[in-house]
Structure 1
Amino acid sequence: MKRLFLVIFFFIAVSCWAQQTPYELSNKRETTTYAEAIKFYEGLAKNHPKQAKLFTYGSTDFGKPLHLVVLSKNGVFDPSLIKKADRRILLINNGIHPGEPEGIDASMMFARDLLKANQLPDNVVICIIPVYNIDGSHDRTGTSRANQNGPIAYGFRGNSKNYDLNRDFIKTDSKNSEAFQQIFNTWQPEIFVDTHTSNGADYQYTMTLIPTQKDKLNPILANYLTKTMVPDLYSQMKAKGFELIPYVNSIGETPETGITGFIEYPRYSTGYSALHNTIGFMPETHMLKSFDKRVESTYKLLFAYKDIVVRDAKIIGENKRKADEYTAKQNEFALDWKLNRNVYDSIEFKGYTAKYKPSEISGIDRLYYDRNEPFTKTIKYWNNFEPSLKVNKPVAYVIPKAWDKVIALLKLNNVKMQQLASDIKLDLDTYYIGDMKTSTRAYEGHYQHSAVNVNTVKQNIQFYEGDYVVYVNQFSNRYIVETLEPQAIDSFFNWNFFDSILGQKEGYSGYAFEDTAADLLKKNPSLKAKLDAEKLKNPEFAKSARMQLDFVYKNSDYFEKTTMRYPIGRLMQNTKLNLK
């Protein structure tokens, strides 16, 4: 009998030990590796086959597929059936920056504890990406985040192509981004959480929070976010021992000067999710707090998200439906934003006194925070953003089939597209790129454009069988407009997708074109008048034979009309088209 008891005890002990995460087994000093995380979730799925399933999607630049853990109480793992059953989907993304690994470890314990206690909700399906930046997670050191307090070793911010994946959600240079978008647009979450660790000032809080910027979120969703979800997260986390504060984005050297909200452009994960009317959150634990407290706060925050989504599942689903319907009918879209510095809130902030002392390196005064002098102060919080640029949508965009990467990304994002069944000339609005700025240093592999001005010209353009028509009457309207309008901050144009249009392909020999130009002026009095007017207006032009000859050339049929012309047309009338 004693032997039987010992055998039973041994197997129970082994079972309990096997359920521990590497983080727990290390006495909360180490973060889980990619291989350990996948092995752990494979074990969960094996032990709970009716409620947990591990999927793989696409590939990453590291050559591994992207994994997705799905926790579903009733054993339904088909996203279309889950939607039909009116169940919500909460998607949690971890390790986009593997040096910020708290979410990796917290999610493993979160999933295990829900399954172990048989506490999966009836009305919410929980999806977890164990490690998004698989590439960077393999590049482990304990030094790449110089200011961070643990763990012992962790991954690197850049992926194997040295991309910051939290800048890649529009341009999609990485296979990681493509695989993520497969997951996102297959499962279509109502709530999205992307776990991070902060940099910056020192203060008393372990966890800061960036919700989707309220002013750029659909108003229906923003109302629920600001009046219900965020206040409830703050309340729950305070009761759990981890008070929240907005992400500490100081306007001056220290937080007492005030902080501003964060405007997450579509290149960022939560900016991307907002294009799809998904409420997003970027929790940022404080780098200087101990690793175990950072993991614990993330773990408790995940439960807070789960509890709120379970409680408000009906209203969250209804809000998403209304927001999608609103977006499909929406006419005017914001393309860029600016902070209103005239409007601010006053919030309580718990910090540490900022002081200065001579640097041991330079001898010049340096900043430090004195943890022996904590304080609670009221500070200013600027978090009101206004559109700085708007555009009215066309009836449809017409996209030549040659621009295959654009077409592939639109399809990946569930944009409904149709193809022309025959060649046709269409009267539509075209953009000519005017003034713009181009960065002189590469940013995430691109020399980005910005401050783009366009000139709209009505033209009759030839399109061909197989070219694409995208009607702007669908749930994906924000993604469509904010990627296809070249003036938008994260448009495909600004990410250099169309740089080939910026170069002129043909030219002329001056001595040969002189006679042609003279003949053009004789036959075209309006062109002659236009040339004379430019001479009167511009003394430098009047003295330059080369500039005048070039003027005639560029105002003639000899000059190619495609130079600087954005290739995607804006169909402004509901023209009947022969579509496949």
Structure 2
Amino acid sequence: MKTALLTSIFTASYLFSMAQLTPFEQHKSNNVTATYQEAIAFYRELDAKHEQMQLLEYGPTDIGKNLNLIVLSKDKIFSPDDIRRANKRILLINNGIHPGEPEGIDASMMLARDMLSNNTLPKDVVICIIPVYNIDGMLNRGTSRANQLGPDSYGFRGNYQNLDLNRDFIKTDSKNSRSFQEIFNIWQPEVFVDNHTSNGADYQYIMTLIHPQKDKLDPVLSEYASRYMIPDLYKGMKDAGFEMIPYVNSVEETPDAGITGFLEVARYSTGYAALHNTIGFMPETHMLKPFAQRVASTYQFMVNVIKIVQRDSKQIGENKKIADDKVKNQKKFSLQWSLKQDDFSMISFKGFEAKYKNSGVSGQPRLYYDRNSPYQKDIKVWDKYIPSVTADKPVAYIIPQAWSKIADLLTLNGVQLKRLNADSEMEVQSYYIEDYKSPARPFEGHYLHTQVKIKPVQNKLKFYVGDYVVYANQKQNRYIVETLEPQGADSFFAWNFFDSVLGQKEHFSAYVFEDDAAEMLSSDPALKSKFEAEKTKDPEFSKNADAQLNWLYKNSPYYEKTYLRYPVGKLTSDIKLEVR
């Protein structure tokens, strides 16, 4: 059936446009992916032919070339505001975030041409396509994925800074990410697709799917996606000959022991989309399947998404509006999630038997999957996540203007910021960072903080003219809270934006401070009592002279109050501020 469907898709493409074939279609092997120059030239030619398409340019990428956006609109409405006023849905498709996974690049070229040539654009859905996101990596062409079955040559995973762009949606180290966020927040799609290719265990499926994590998405969106959209996508793909399975995230070396649902935190494209109440999908074709099958399945997946979004356009729009309105008044936000280990379901899985034989390299037993031994059996799926860390939203966050990059990213994501008109001393809740873990080696250019522990305190702090006030009454509240609360899995604190507060700027000379410390104890009975209690409680402390002196220094007026104090204040009472 797969062969027949491949033939029908490619034959239809030829019939629709004999004059304009993609490089993938031009080669009989169907094992060639377009270069960046070929892809853009292809879309420029389409743009010149069809009034229902516009080829737009947005901001730059790290390699200096601007990010493009293809907009396909049946009614020739190309303004995002006009599209929303016409009550049409916006579907955003992203390609080439990892250019070594190029199926979406070629499939989107064919899909855009076919819908334009065949006049099959949906009436109530405007389709936006980023033809190539990681232009940098696509220009770095070669064969860098050692085990991948085609195409003959393709781009590299890292961008010009050697960043994995699917880890850059919060920290925004790349210009690519900044320009993507500009597109995303101008167009505000209700549904998002990011096309990928997976590695890992071998199995019978050409495509697996990372769909929205149901416990992280807003309940109204999750209810619709779980009951209607996701089951219909699986059914549509099966009917088309491309049966899917959820992304194979094995709990052990092979899938036989079960798989877990993918937790899409905000560093990933679909996790970032969820912060904006956008339903996001990440189809993952399998790199051990022929490239032509991977392109065809990606094409079919996008066709199915478009059909469903058109069919349910009214409901999808209403759900998005409900979610946006709800989040403005939401009180508590989840910052971290834990897999519920005792809650699983069963799913029928079509795999290949995992076997072992002696390695031709080491002579030791090695894993292989025997394609001559296919099987179908039920395996466990753990797909229930529960909040492990939460935070109550404040009336507002106060951000000192010294951290202007934070304000810039908030603004880029549609957050409304005010600025203080006068120097102000106000009572705020502050956090002191009590503990955190950082890796020995950098991850994507950062020493990502995890296991962050905080101590909330009430402080009367001074803020200054121009400092930022972020009221937490906006539809962007998830982005606001999950980035500004330091315990968030992908918070700005986690990504090292505030690391300067983790370094102590002043200390003491022990031989001088000894006399000051003794004077403090003799003149302050309460302090002395607290000090003696500490020694009684901790025998090791009572034997350690340096620890005792340091304890007294921390309890002295000399100790810097800004050390380990997270600089963003939380305004917890609705007081009137002079803002502009």
TM tier relative to shorter chain: over 0.9
Q: Which runs of 4+ in 1 moved over 6 A?
A: none
Q: State the 1:513 CA deviation.
A: 2.4
Q: Which sits farther off after the overlay, 251-260 or 425-434?
A: 251-260
Paired with 2:194 and 2:471, the residues of 1 have a C-alpha distance of: 31
User: Are the counterparts in 1 of residues 158 and 165 from structure 2 also a CA contact under 8 Å?
Assistant: yes
Output the CA distance in 1 between the equivalents of 2:504 and 2:519.
Answer: 24
Aligned position for 1:8: none
State the AA in 2 paired with 1:214: K
How far apart, CA to CA, are the structure 2 residues paired with 1:115 and 1:197? 27
Q: Verify the 8 A CA contact 2:17 2:117 in the aligned structure 1.
A: no
Contact kept? 2:16, 2:117, Cα under 8 Å: no
CA contact (8 A) 2:398 2:568 kept: yes
Deviation at residue 106 of structure 1 after TM alignment: 0.2
Residue 108 of structure 1 aligns with an amino acid whose one-letter code is M
- Mapped to 1, the partners of 2:15 and 2:439 lie a distance apart of 58
Return 5+ residue gaps in structure 1 as ranges.
Answer: 1-12
Q: What SS class does the counterpart of residue 283 from structure 2 fall into?
A: strand
Q: Distance in 1 between matches of 2:197 and 2:568?
A: 40
Pairing 1:101–2:97 present: no
| Length, aligned pairs only | 566
Counterpart CA distance in 2 for 1:357 and 1:448 is 39
SS in 2 for 1:159: coil
Aligned counterparts of 1:305 and 1:212: Cα–Cα separation in 2: 14
Name 1:458's counterpart in structure 2.
Answer: 458
> Aligned residue for 1:416?
416
Aligned pairs for 1:371-450 within 5 A: 371-450=371-450
What is the Cα deviation at residue 561 of structure 1? Answer: 0.2
1:38 correspondence with 2:40: yes
Read off the aligned partner of 2:123 and give its amino acid letter: D
Residues 128-153 of structure 1: per-residue CA shift (max 9 Å, x gap): 000001111111112x1111100000
Deviation at 1:14, TM superposition (A): 13
Using structure 1 for the length normalisation, give the TM-score: 0.96
Quote the Cα distance in structure 2 between the aligned partners of 1:92 and 1:423: 46
CA displacement 1:105-131 (0-9 Å, x = unmatched): 000000000000111122110000000
> Which residue type is aligned with residue 243 of structure 2?
E
| Aligned counterparts of 2:394 and 2:136: Cα–Cα separation in 1 | 41
Per-residue CA distance 1:553-580 (angstroms, 9 max, x = gap): 2112211100000000011101111111
1:228 Cα deviation (Å)? 0.2
Which residue is 1:65 aligned to? 66
Is 1:56 paired with 2:62? no
- Tell me the equivalent position of 2:85: 84
| Percentage of matched positions with identical amino acids | 60
Q: What secondary structure sits across from 2:346 in the alignment?
A: strand
**How much has 1:16 moved relative to structure 2?**
4.3
Distance 2:245 2:193 in 1: 17
SS in 1 for 2:60: coil
Distance 1:349 1:545 in 2: 63
Letter of the aligned partner of 2:553 in structure 1?
Answer: Y
Structure 2 residue matching 1:434: 3-state secondary structure: strand
State the Cα distance separating 1:550 from its structure 2 match.
2.0
- For residue 480 of structure 1, what is the aligned residue in structure 2? 480
1:291 aligns with 2:291: yes
Report the TM-score when normalising by structure 2: 0.96
Indicate the residue corresponding to 2:351 in structure 1.
351
Given that residues 16 and 114 in structure 2 are in contact (C-alpha distance below 8 angstroms), is that contact kept between their aligned partners in structure 1? no
Deviation (angstroms), 1:514: 2.9
Which residue type is aligned with residue 330 of structure 1? Q
Q: Which amino acid aligns with 1:41?
A: Y
- State how far apart, in whole Å, the 2-side matches of 1:176 and 1:198 are: 22
* Correspondence for 1:206: 206
- Distance (whole Å) between structure 2 residues aligned to residue 547 and residue 348 of structure 1: 60
The aligned runs of 1:299-338 (5 Å cut-off) are: 299-338=299-338
Q: Describe how 1:175-214 pairs up with structure 2 within 5 A.
A: 175-214=175-214
- Is it true that 1:19 corresponds to 2:20 in the alignment? yes
Distance in 2 separating the partners of 1:369 and 1:558:
65
SS at match of 1:486: coil
Q: Distance in 2 between matches of 1:554 and 1:259?
A: 49
Aligned 8 A contact 2:394 2:472 in 1: yes
Query: Superposition RMSD on alpha carbons, in Å?
Result: 1.4
* In structure 1, C-alpha distance between the alignment counterparts of 2:194 and 2:240, rounded to whole Å: 20
In structure 2, the residue corresponding to 1:451 is in which secondary structure? strand
Please tell me the residue identity of whatever aligns with 1:215.
Answer: D
Q: Which amino acid aligns with 2:510?
A: G
SS at match of 1:547: helix
Q: Aligned partners of 2:189, 2:487: CA distance in 1, in Å?
A: 29
- Sort the Cα spacing of 1:125 and 1:552 in 2 relative to 1 into closer, same or farther, 3 A: same
